[in-house]
Amino acid sequence: MTTDLVGILRGTELLNTAPAAELEILAAGSRVRTFRRGQVVFTAGDPGETVMVVVSGRVKVAVRSADGGELTLTILGPGTMFGELGVADGGPRSADCEALEECRLLLIPREMILDLCLRVPTVAQALLRSVAAMLRRLTEAASDLVFLDLPRRVAKVLLGQPRGEDGVIRPMLSQEELAHQAGGSRQSINAAMRGFERRGWIQVSGRTVTVTQAAALNRFSGI
């Protein structure tokens, strides 16, 4: 099991330069936990005591308003790490995290990552890059919310999803999930999608969305 965890740790951008011996120490001090679909991983304000790696499944990180509104900041799949901000400043969680499907997460104590950063400068540099990349993503998302209308935000969200060679977005994305990512209502998302479909840019069949003209969506969204 420790060998498997070392491989998982090695596959992350934060830890891919760490020596094997250091990864074995991390693996021995970490634990894997399974979350069912819809289960809360953590909420904003919880202590940021661990860094997490998605071993299998998907999780979403979101912020919520007092009246129940939700904005999805990111959706993370296997091999991705999150929670690095708590390592950098020792503060509480800044958002909520929920399992979108049954998933397994590797939980690494914050103190172990901090100790590793002191011993391995390349890991400390990778942590700085990770936090900087997070800031850039949030800056772009804030800019989009202010300067782009909803249809253009929907186009950017669609283009940001993983797609097969056939253009089909996988895993399937519900209109509710799309609304949470684009920052709009399901009705307005539906109207934008119908507009794209009329132009021939996408095809929608149930929950299956196929991007047929990515270049046109690119031009429309301004990416």
Spatial CA neighbour of 219 closest among 194, 199, 190: 199
pLDDT at 124: 95
DSSP state of 79: T
Coil vs helix vs strand at 193: helix
What is d(CA 57, CA 22) in angstroms, rounded to the nearest whole number?
Answer: 26
Q: What is the pLDDT along the chain (223 residues), one digit of tens a residue?
A: 555 899 999 999 999 999 999 999 999 999 999 999 999 999 999 999 999 999 999 999 999 988 878 999 999 999 999 999 888 888 999 999 999 999 999 999 999 999 999 999 999 999 999 999 989 988 998 899 899 999 999 999 999 999 999 999 988 888 888 999 999 999 999 999 999 999 999 999 988 999 999 999 999 988 6
Beta-strand relationship, 59-64 and 31-35: unpaired
Cα angle 66, 70, 75 (rounded to 5 degrees) comes to 140
Can you tell me which residue has the tokens 């939700």? 70
Can you tell me which residue has the tokens 């949470």? 180
pLDDT at 214: 94
- Give the amino acid at 121: P
How many CA atoms, within 13 angstroms, populate the side-chain half-sphere of residue 8? 26
pLDDT at 102: 96
Beta strands in 16-168 (DSSP E): 31-35, 40-42, 50-56, 59-64, 70-76, 81-82, 96-99, 103-109
What is the CA 130 to chain-centroid distance, rounded? 13
Q: Which helix (H) or strand (E) holds 133?
A: helix 121-147
Q: In this structure, what token pair is assigned to residue 197?
A: 């479909």
Domains in the chain, ordered, with CATH? Answer: 2-145 (2.60.120.10), 149-221 (1.10.10.10)
pLDDT at 223: 64
What is d(CA 4, CA 131) in angstroms, rounded to the nearest whole number?
Answer: 26
What is d(CA 196, CA 216) in angstroms, rounded to the nearest whole number?
Answer: 10
pLDDT at 200: 96
